[in-house]
Amino acid sequence: MARTNLPLTTMDPTNGVVATPTNVDVANGMNIALASTAIPSGPSAWDLVIVFVNSFAGAKSIIVRAGANNPPAFRKDKGDLTISNAGSSAITYVGPLEPARYLQSDGSINIDFTAATTGTVVALIRPHLT
């Protein structure tokens, strides 16, 4: 199953941020690419905040999947992070996330949703300021 890419939206400390939400993909799950070969390195999971807006009438959950390998996820045995959202346009903020627990081997983060979830999600990243 190919996960749906959830693009990063960089927060701007001087101008604010306008993020375009992405519809949740319950069937495939979603992937947030954080891998960077930049020097200095790009933003990490510590800089990430996921904003989930549940439009379903009842409670649904967002699930941040534990990493698959050691390394990079040497704390993967702590398991997935599941956070419930009350529904009816309730907003849930998830993050920052511990890279040692959640990074996949390619440096990305995988998220899933409970069955029949509807709504939108945004991946906000804090910029590295110089």
Total tally of structural domains belonging to the chain: 1
Rounded Cα distance between 110 and 34, Å, is 11
Look at residue 130 and tell me if it is in a domain.
Answer: no
Look at residue 15 and tell me if it is in a domain.
Answer: no
Residues spanned by the domain of 81 = 4-10+22-35+44-125
pLDDT at 12: 83
Q: Which two tokens stand for residue 119?
A: 């709504």
Alpha helices in the chain (DSSP H): 99-102
Of the candidates 85, 78, 79, 45, the residue with the CA atom closest to the CA atom of residue 62? 85
pLDDT tens-place string over residues 65-114: 999 887 788 899 999 999 999 988 899 999 999 989 999 988 899 999 99
Query: Where is pLDDT greater, at 32 or 39?
Result: 32
Look at residue 16 and tell me if it is in a domain.
Answer: no
What is the arithmetic mean of pLDDT over 40-48? 75
Look at residue 51 and tell me if it is in a domain.
Answer: yes
Of the candidates 111, 104, 34, the residue with the CA atom closest to the CA atom of residue 70? 104
pLDDT tens-place string over residues 79-92: 999 999 998 889 99
Rounded Cα distance between 127 and 11, Å, is 6
